[in-house]
Amino acid sequence: MHLSRRQVLALSAGSIAGAILVACAGPAPTATAVPPKPAEPPKPAPAPTATIAPAKPAAEAAKPAEAPKPAEKPAEKPAAAAPSSGSGLMKVVFWSAHSGNTEKAQAELARRFNTSQSKYQVDAQYQGSYTDIMTKMQAAMAAKQVPDIFLIHEAGWLPFWLNKQLEPLDKYVADTKMDVSDWQDALYKEGVKFGKLWWLSTSRSTPIFYYNREAWAEAGLPDRPPKTWTELLEWAPKLTKKSGSDTTQFAHQEHIADSSPWVLQTKLWQWGGRYSNDEDGIKVTIADPPAIAAIQAISDMIHKSKAARVDPGPNGERAPFLGGKSASLINSTSQLVSMGKSAKFKVGVGFLPEGPAGFGCTTGGSGMAIPAMVAGDKKPAAFEWLKFSTDTESTVYWLKETGYMPLRKSAEKHPDVVKLFADDPNFQVAVSQLPKSRFQEYARIAIAKGDSIINKGLSRVAVSNEPVEAVMKEVADELDKELRPVRELVKVAASY
């Protein structure tokens, strides 16, 4: 039977599940009303035509699953919000996934925006995790009751773009004369597809190498990270501690947790491998020889040389490092502030070690996007909030309070940041690695089950010591099956 392109797209809606990322839960939201009166409680909306399992950096780690996990205090429906604040100001509803200290910093930015002008009032509403926001956005779009702007994960925006649900931002950039040349190139370009800007970075990070400086000193090692994975293996015997037959300190902590596929992306590149060749029809390559070699190196560190330990599960890589059970690990740059405060020892950081093919690092974090169906007069207002929260002063404040990357080049020259870098060189290292980072590949980010499939395979290798080549062949077959409808959607999206 021959299927038209329209029929293929329709089938795709039923074959691709909702995307997933888990952080913290929060209070029920309100959203901007499209009809001015409250809507009846909407039924759960179907997943978008194509969905992504995004990478989770650090502070907000990803948790793949078949079905999204609801927030701790879930909203039963996207409720209608008044078009104004009641004081003559236009209200801008912003859905966010930031919690804890990051939420407090965001509230301060909202306060500063609201007092900086007399036209708009932003209402930042915590929605729970990235999963919760994506689930609620699907329901909100189905009910045509959406927030004016929402937080979107850098690996979670593709489903909205593929379904024409995002507003292009180029017009607002031009109208407000935003200086895009001041943006960190990698962070600005990541929101661009086929020549149009669809979202802007706000909270960005990369993986980075953390090490216990005191353990390094005790082992007689230079106070720096290893330049290569080979060098770390050479140092491993000096970093390893034993009590009888038990190892009480390993040289390294392998990353087998919710965000493992995010970190694995970097190691694939370091060995010359990839998840997929996106320039060749999104061809899955995780079972190709370079990728196999990278994953075999992980397995060997755990099971052969025993230089690394593995602790599956939430926070499985961070807790052993902070507890002195491992002397190094890879984690997000967004953990710089938290790691420094939590550790009972001096923490050092550095670029990721190089592999046989050289350096490899990817980006992580989130940004903001405006739904295409937002009322016309609200779109410029929403962009004003986005512009304000990413200007030089705001990004300096955000860096100091959260540890996320400075979005603008001018921020690095700001007196407060110069002082911060002088007081804590770890921040400078994190920022210096950013220009060397790359975007992630479709076989991981373009399908809902991507993280789950990869993580299960990696766990079989790292925890159960199963043969790498056989496991990755199964992983490749599963990824390829899930990618089939996505490939067609990407071709169609080139015309958006």
Alpha helices in 403-441 (DSSP H): 409-412, 415-423, 425-433
Digitized pLDDT (tens) for each residue of the chain, 496 residues in all: 433 433 333 333 333 333 333 333 333 333 443 333 344 444 433 433 333 333 333 333 333 333 333 334 333 334 334 344 556 899 999 999 998 888 999 999 999 999 999 999 999 999 988 778 888 998 999 999 999 999 998 877 888 888 889 999 999 999 999 999 999 888 899 899 889 999 999 999 999 999 999 999 999 999 999 999 999 999 999 999 999 999 999 999 997 766 789 999 999 999 999 999 999 999 999 999 999 999 999 999 999 999 999 987 666 788 999 999 999 999 988 888 889 889 999 999 999 999 999 999 999 889 999 999 999 999 999 999 999 999 999 999 999 888 888 999 999 999 999 999 999 889 888 889 988 999 899 898 888 788 889 999 999 999 999 999 999 999 999 999 999 988 888 888 877 7
Distance of CA 289 to the CA centre of its chain: 27
Kindly provide the residue ranges of all beta strands, DSSP E only, lying in 308-455, ordered along the sequence: 308-309, 328-332, 347-350, 364-369
Residues 6+ apart with CB under 8 A from 264: 255, 294, 295, 454, 458
Distance of CA 115 to the CA centre of its chain: 31
Each residue's pLDDT tens digit, 412-459: 999 999 999 999 889 888 889 988 999 899 898 888 788 889 999 999
Query: Using CA atoms, how far apart are residues 130 and 151, in angstroms rounded to an integer?
Result: 8
Domains of the chain by start residue, with CATH: 5-205+364-436 (3.40.190.10), 207-363+444-482 (3.40.190.10)
Query: Using CA atoms, how far apart are residues 70 and 135, in angstroms rounded to an integer?
Result: 9
Residues 131 and 68 sit within 8 Å (Cβ to Cβ): yes
Query: Using CA atoms, how far apart are residues 200 and 48, in angstroms rounded to an integer?
Result: 21
The CA-atom distances, in angstroms, between 342 and each of 11, 214, 337 are 49, 15, 9
Residue indicated by tokens 């997943």: 47
Q: What is the CA radius of gyration of the chain?
A: 23
Bridge partners for 250 per DSSP? 326
* ∠ CA 73-75-77, rounded to 5°: 165
Residues 327 and 417 sit within 8 Å (Cβ to Cβ): no
DSSP string, 65-126: -SSPPPPSS--SS-EEE-SB-SSSPEEEEEEE---HHHHHHHHHHHHHHHHH-SSEEEEEEE
pTM of the entire predicted model: 0.77
Query: Using CA atoms, how far apart are residues 480 and 491, in angstroms rounded to an integer?
Result: 16
Each residue's pLDDT tens digit, 205-220: 999 999 999 999 999 9
Burial of 409 (0-12, 13-18, 19+ CB in 10 A): middle
